[in-house]
Structure 1
Amino acid sequence: VALGNLGRHEDAIASYDKALEIKPDKHAAWNNRGVALGNLGRHEDAIASYDKALEIKPDYHEAWFYRGVALGILGRLEDAIASYDKALEIKPDYHEAWFYRGVALG
């Protein structure tokens, strides 16, 4: 996370990959890997990481949210809205998901 905060997204991905070699079912590492990939503009790869996080923890609202963000960037707005809806089903007061859902609807 610290590497990503420093803008060192490639290094962050390498660290997440190493963590996932050790503990492949760490849903947060898959999610954060997706965030780092998204920050590099690799949105399809990011979605694959979010999907892996969601295979492990289907009720992980943050992965549903970030998945929606990546889908929205790719212009897949209906899919993005569905992801935001899933995040909101899990965490109804997730204001970021409400905001981005509104953007996608607009």
Structure 2
Amino acid sequence: MAWLLGGIVALVVAYILATQWGWLPRAQVVATGTIQTGDGTVLNTRKYLRASRKAPHKTPGPGKLLEEEVWEVELPNGRWAECEGDDCLAAYEKAWGPN
């Protein structure tokens, strides 16, 4: 029984890591682009639709589907950091730190 629980936990962790590192698509990608840093590094950006539902406590059904546009910038190590469209360079500098 413990091996079954361990296997399920391992699959969930693998799914989360694969999504975080960009091996699995997060959602419907709407737009892509690039930005250039001060040292000449070119970084990829993407905008996708994040789906969520707001459901008040004890409602009979799932609530209305809400889709929100979200921007991300790809860091040099392959991970994606969320940004606000115009501040993707600032999000990169905050996540990557001064080199």
Question: Which has more radius of gyration?
Answer: 2
Could you tell me the TM-score, scaled by structure 1's length?
0.28
Bigger share in helix: 1
